[in-house]
Amino acid sequence: MIKIKRRSEQKKEDTWDLESIYPTKDDLNADVRLVKENTEKLEEYKGKILSSSSNLLYVLDTSFGTERVIEKLFTYTYRRYDEDLTNDEANRQKGEITNLYTNYLERTSFIVPELLQQDEKIIRKYLKENSELEKYTLWFERLFDKKKYVLSEQEERIISAFSNSLNTSENIAGILRNAEIKFYTIKDEQEKEVEINNETYQTYVTSKDRRVRHDAFYALYRAYQEHKQSLAEALQGNVSKIVTENKLRGYSNSKEASLIHNRVNPVVYDTLIREVHKHIDVLYNYFKLKKDVLKLDDFCLYDVGVNLAQDEREYTYEEAKKIVLDVISVFGDEYKRTAEEAFRDRWIDVYPNKGKRGGAYSAGSYDTKPFMLLNFQGKYDDVSTLAHELGHSMHTYYSNKNNSYLYSDYKIFVAEVASTVNEMLLNYYMLEHSNDNNEKKFILSEMMELFKGTIFRQTMFSEFEEFMYDTVEQGKTLTSDVLAEKYYDLNKFYYGKDVVINEEIKYEWARVPHFYYNFYVYQYATGLIAACYIVNRILSHEENAVTDYLNFLKTGGSMDPIEELKVAGVDITSEEVFTKAMDMFNELISSYQKLDQ
């Protein structure tokens, strides 16, 4: 276990290189001044953007150039804050940049409505006559697609002005979940009293001691049951807000609004649910395996999360780097050299320190390194996280390198593909290179949990989310009883007859923050399904599999996300892609059964 140090005690080479963004405070302040100056200059063009092609060019170049600088400022200040959340100066600086961005958005909110309210013919004429505008052709095509959903400038301003107030439901739910709900205590494995809350629940519901699992499950959902009306009202308020805005904008329904906004055909959502239903027996097989391995007569929901195997092995960071570099060498010399650069040139903040943000992520801007935050502590999960976040950063690197700023930002729909490809390849690499049956069991268990939690659970969440929006769009109310009944029925379907569906699970919806994210979670499932198909092609040594994948990483935001996946050889609307993923899950189950005999 890694000792938790103070930030000042960390070795320089183990921290990210934020000085490469702004070597001095003066450099940062110069960019702040530039944003303020550009904001004022852009305001002068209100009502005049399409007076000439030169005006249009200036407004577009200046606004995108300013946003590029703002992203750089955000990258620096948010990464600096995340190093130590107790650093008041970093917190103040982050707040100033957030306010700077808010001010920019408010004062330039006229730009898109003004462009859309004018005759398209004028813009198309300017695009033809001014060669410097040619780079914006695709951007305008995408903008015109949204035209019928954009309101007048005054209406957009009103919606923008009410945005903070309309987020009240989500904020209240967050306060309830994280601060005001009185959670219950149980006795842990050593008979010590511990509170079961959102942070501690996972530790105790996966305990080897079944009594602890049982008590943790009932303690958590008892607390949520006592607040079911308040949390149902918050969820109703959030869904109603989104449904109302989407109706005002002219969308057929909220699912369509969310997916079209991300340039994803709604058929993808329907295909996901249909294909998961078709292959639900694979999940049932996994639960049967768990029940048999755990030797339980009755297999309950509080047994579902127990790991089938434990891994006591520890890794140094140097060992983790070597393993990950071996894994990604399958992508060729250029990819590996860049990954080596990531380790050498301090893209990564490696170890936990006092005050540092927990978890892990990859985040950067067009003009910075794609930084990675880790909290490496030497477990296999930390090695997997390193591979995962490196996948994100390499995706960003290739996107930025091969596209202009305008088309470098890939959509959320494909954002988890590269990271999951790395994670899956690591798992298969470890299985191939291990001579320890227990280690193999542990890795297989981790992989099967990934399938269960990412494909099936997130699809169940997606079904529940669609139900919520359909209910409100039909003029009905999301009462706590309506939500509980639907959630319970979905659990019965997804877990099957061999799992005891404890009544208390019907209140789990109350603790899931993703239900406030507006048709978001389905992308976790489609991302893993796409990654499985890519990994299968690579491991099968299919011709052009690696080349296709690298070309996919280079597309950035230059294509619609479904078309980008096709570059990698994946048609996410096809039955074959889902079947490959389910076959992979079945093979993992079979492999575990053979090792367990």
- Phi and psi for 500 in degrees, rounded to 5? -75, 120
> What's the CA gap between 541 and 441, in Å, rounded?
25
Instruction: Mention every residue, 6+ apart, whose C-beta is less than 8 A from residue 227.
Output: 176, 181, 510
> What's the CA gap between 441 and 523, in Å, rounded?
28
> What's the CA gap between 431 and 389, in Å, rounded?
21
What 3 state SS string does 294-356 have?
A: HCCCCEEHHHCCCCCCCCCCCCCHHHHHHHHHHHHHHHCHHHHHHHHHHHHCCCEECCCECCC
Confidence class of residue 148 from pLDDT cuts 50, 70 and 90? confident
Asked if the model's pLDDT at residue 125 lies above 70, the reply is yes
Asked if the model's pLDDT at residue 2 lies above 80, the reply is no
pTM for this predicted structure: 0.93
Q: What's residue 147's pLDDT? A: 85
- Phi and psi for 499 in degrees, rounded to 5? -110, 130
Q: What's residue 156's pLDDT? A: 76
Q: How many Å separate Cα 17 from the centre of its chain?
A: 24
Confidence class of residue 168 from pLDDT cuts 50, 70 and 90? confident
> What's the CA gap between 422 and 417, in Å, rounded?
9
Reading across the β-sheet that carries 371-373, which strands appear in turn?
348-349, 371-373, 361-363
- Phi and psi for 361 in degrees, rounded to 5? -165, 170
Residue with tokens 């209240």: 172
> What's the CA gap between 529 and 577, in Å, rounded?
7
**Ranges of each domain in the chain:** 9-166
Which residue type occupies 442? F
- The mean pLDDT of the chain is 95
Choosing from 83, 170, 275, 389, the catalytic residue is: 389
Q: Angle between the 228-249 and 210-225 helix axes, to the nearest 10 degrees? A: 60
Nearest CA to 445 among 290, 594, 281? 290
The residues facing 300 across adjacent strands are 500
What 3 state SS string does 352-374 have?
A: CECCCCCCCEEECCCCCCCEEEC
Handedness of CA 290, 293, 298, 303 (dihedral sign): negative
The 10s digit of each residue's pLDDT in 262-320 is 899 999 999 999 999 999 999 999 999 999 999 999 999 999 999 899 887 999 999 99
> What's the CA gap between 26 and 34, in Å, rounded?
12
Nearest CA to 256 among 572, 564, 513, 469? 469
497-522 residues labelled b (16+ CB within 10 A) or e (exposed)? eebebbebbbbbbbbbeebbebbbbb
The 10s digit of each residue's pLDDT in 40-88 is 999 999 999 999 999 999 999 999 999 999 999 999 999 999 999 999 9
Nearest CA to 127 among 117, 141, 113, 114? 141
* pLDDT above 90 as % of the chain: 89
Q: CA 484 → CA 231, 464, 487, 506, distances in Å? A: 12, 10, 5, 5
Instruction: Mention every residue, 6+ apart, whose C-beta is less than 8 A from residue 554.
Output: 398, 399, 401, 402, 403
Collapsing DSSP states into helix, strand and coil, what is residue 5? strand
The 10s digit of each residue's pLDDT in 228-260 is 999 999 999 999 999 999 999 999 999 999 998
- Phi and psi for 501 in degrees, rounded to 5? -90, 95
Instruction: Mention every residue, 6+ apart, whose C-beta is less than 8 A from residue 453.
Output: none
Known active-site residue 389:
yes
First-to-last C-alpha distance (Å) of the chain:
33
Nearest CA to 534 among 420, 394, 413? 420
Q: What's residue 149's pLDDT? A: 87
Structure tokens at 250: 């002219």
Q: What's residue 1's pLDDT? A: 58
Handedness of CA 309, 423, 326, 546 (dihedral sign): positive
The 10s digit of each residue's pLDDT in 553-578 is 999 999 999 999 999 999 999 999 99
Asked if the model's pLDDT at residue 122 lies above 70, the reply is yes
> What's the CA gap between 191 and 207, in Å, rounded?
13
- Angle at CA 510, nearest 5°, toward 504 and 512? 110
CATH number belonging to the domain at 9-166, selected among 1.10.443.10, 1.20.140.70, 3.40.50.970, 3.90.1170.50: 1.20.140.70
Q: Do residues 328 and 383 lie in contact, with contact meaning Cβ atoms separated by under 8 Å? A: no
The 10s digit of each residue's pLDDT in 335-387 is 999 999 999 999 999 999 999 999 999 999 999 999 999 999 999 999 999 99
